[in-house]
Amino acid sequence: MERKMRYPQYNASSSKEEVKLEVGLKFISKEQLREAVDDYRIIKGYDIKIWHSDGKRFQVFCNAKGCDWLLWASRPQREQSFQITKMPNPHSCIPFSFEKGKGRISTRWLSHKYMKTLRLQPSLKVR
């Protein structure tokens, strides 16, 4: 009898401030994984860049000088999901500040984060 391993599933409806990436975490698609990495990058303040991304693999690294953090995720066989397979090193860098101009928040990320709020309050001011 074959045993199925149970891995934690990413909860997309949880607070973006609580994004915790760990080995074994499964995502329903590469797009969901990319969004989680974007949330992690922006909320935590790390300079994370995509190294390799195709139909089977997704690899990112920290672009900060001297930081060895990286994340590898791949698609398990016969599944459409993506799963984090390696994160060998913790961050050894200090998170950056957006005032210094190093961080970029995309319009895509902003629209996902504030879409519900803007629909409920269409007259909301930028400030």
pLDDT on residue 14: 67
pLDDT on residue 46: 87
Q: How many domains would you assign to the chain?
A: 1
Report yes or no on 4 lying in a domain: no
Report yes or no on 80 lying in a domain: yes
pLDDT on residue 99: 47
Report yes or no on 42 lying in a domain: yes
pLDDT on residue 33: 92
Whole-number average pLDDT of the chain: 81
Domain range holding 49? Answer: 16-120
Report yes or no on 126 lying in a domain: no
Report yes or no on 5 lying in a domain: no
Query: What would the pLDDT profile of 39-74 be if each residue is shown by its tens digit?
Result: 888 888 888 898 999 989 999 999 888 899 999 999
Answer for the pair 83, 26: CB distance below 8 angstroms, yes or no: yes
Report yes or no on 35 lying in a domain: yes
SS3 65: coil
Report yes or no on 2 lying in a domain: no
Report yes or no on 6 lying in a domain: no
For residue 101, count CB atoms less than 10 angstroms from its CB and return exposed for 0-12, middle for 13-18, buried for 19 or more.
exposed
